[in-house]
């Protein structure tokens, strides 16, 4: 049973990943997500439904457009695959038994759609649009409210206050970094992401998430400079590291924090 539902979530994740790709693509070009079929970015030929099946079409077409034979960006299958793994991982992390636990899982899936899309726009164009950030903050607040409700008997106000306080501190630190560096260290979108992390995660998860963000950021940043993909002067988007950090904090934060405290 668990295996079947996990596979279902993986499938939903792959489809959502495909939606996020299309949404990010259209937002960056000022097009509406609701209007018209997808087109090849090179030859602008309208894609048939069978050219547009997540993951499968990329494999069947050998990564090339059916009409102009130009390569399709590896971003599309990679995002779809990652979303599939993420959604399956979310299900396996929560394995909900009660209605409220199902609601928590659904909120995390919803949050993930906004985060995957903003991951793409930040990676490609260094922007974290409010179209994704505002709903992401709202969903994170709902997650904090639900966590306050499910963490004890009835509604535990301290949990909610804790989440709002930690989000406030995190946002204040990022505001100081942003204004102090005149936007060189981080962008204003990262301040909004800080609010998402602070609201959606419990404290041990948040601390691990922030730590993981900087380890991954430093590792990928140095890799890009050493391999000459980027120079020291290039701006590397910070949002994707925060988003990866968020999921590391969610999935493994409690364990890592407990392991760390056992060292002393």
Residues 98-127 that bind Zn ion (CB under 5 A): none
Calculate the CA 238 to chain-centre distance. Answer: 12
Q: Which residue, 61 or 82, has its beta carbon nearer to Zn ion?
A: 61
Find the shortest distance in angstroms from Cβ 76 to Zn ion: 13
Residues 47-76 that bind Zn ion (CB under 5 A): 65, 67-68
- Write out the two tokens for 234: 């290039």
Q: Which residue, 46 or 255, has its beta carbon nearer to Zn ion?
A: 46
Residue pointed to by tokens 């996990």: 6
Separation between Cα atoms, residue 221 and residue 237, nearest integer Å: 10
Find the shortest distance in angstroms from Cβ 18 to Zn ion: 18
Which one of residues 40, 53, 106, 216 is an interface residue with Zn ion (CB under 5 A)?
40
Residue pointed to by tokens 């946002």: 171
Find the shortest distance in angstroms from Cβ 262 to Zn ion: 56
Stretch that binds Zn ion, among 8-16, 34-42, 150-158, 241-249 (CB under 5 A): 34-42
Stretch that binds Zn ion, among 40-48, 98-106, 116-124, 224-232 (CB under 5 A): 40-48
Burial-class residue 97 by CB neighbours within 10 Å (0-12, 13-18, 19+).
exposed
Separation between Cα atoms, residue 24 and residue 237, nearest integer Å: 15
Stretch that binds Zn ion, among 37-45, 177-185, 204-212, 233-241 (CB under 5 A): 37-45
Sign of the CA dihedral with 243 first, then 184, 170, and 121 last = negative
- Write out the two tokens for 214: 């900087």
Which one of residues 7, 8, 36, 42 is an interface residue with Zn ion (CB under 5 A)?
42
Find the shortest distance in angstroms from Cβ 67 to Zn ion: 5
Separation between Cα atoms, residue 112 and residue 118, nearest integer Å: 10
Residue pointed to by tokens 């050219």: 51
H or E segment at 139?
helix 130-150
Find the shortest distance in angstroms from Cβ 49 to Zn ion: 16
Find the shortest distance in angstroms from Cβ 69 to Zn ion: 7
Q: Note whether 15 binds Zn ion by CB under 5 A.
A: no
Separation between Cα atoms, residue 41 and residue 260, nearest integer Å: 48
Neighbours of 201 (CB within 10 A): 28
Which one of residues 8, 43, 60, 165 is an interface residue with Zn ion (CB under 5 A)?
43
Binding site residues, Zn ion, CB under 5 A: 40, 42-43, 65, 67-68
């Amino acid at each position: 049973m668990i295996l079947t539902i996990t596979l279902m979530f993986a499938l939903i994740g792959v489809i959502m990943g495909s939606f996020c790709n299309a949404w990010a693509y259209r937002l960056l070009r000022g097009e509406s997500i609701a209007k018209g079929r997808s087109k090849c970015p090179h030859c602008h030929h309208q894609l048939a439904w069978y050219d547009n099946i997540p993951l499968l079409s990329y494999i069947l077409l050998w990564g090339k457009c059916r009409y102009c034979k130009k390569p399709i960006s590896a971003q599309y299958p990679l995002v779809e695959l990652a979303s599939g793994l993420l959604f399956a991982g979310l299900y396996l992390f929560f394995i909900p038994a009660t209605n409220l636990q199902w609601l928590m899982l659904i909120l995390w899936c919803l949050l993930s759609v906004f985060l995957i899309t903003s991951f793409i726009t930040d990676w490609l164009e260094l922007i974290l649009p409010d179209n994704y950030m505002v709903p992401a903050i709202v969903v994170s607040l709902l997650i904090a409210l639900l966590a306050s409700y499910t963490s004890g008997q009835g509604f535990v106000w301290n949990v909610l206050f804790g989440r709002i306080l930690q989000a406030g501190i995190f946002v204040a630190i990022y505001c100081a970094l942003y204004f102090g560096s005149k936007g060189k260290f981080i962008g204003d979108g990262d301040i909004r992401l800080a609010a998402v992390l602070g609201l959606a995660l419990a404290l041990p998860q948040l601390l691990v998430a922030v730590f993981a963000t900087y380890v991954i950021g430093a590792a990928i940043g140095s890799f890009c400079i050493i391999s000459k993909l980027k120079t020291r002067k290039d701006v590397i988007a910070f949002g994707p590291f925060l988003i990866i950090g968020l999921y590391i904090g969610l999935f493994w934060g409690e364990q890592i924090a407990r392991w760390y405290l056992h060292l002393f």
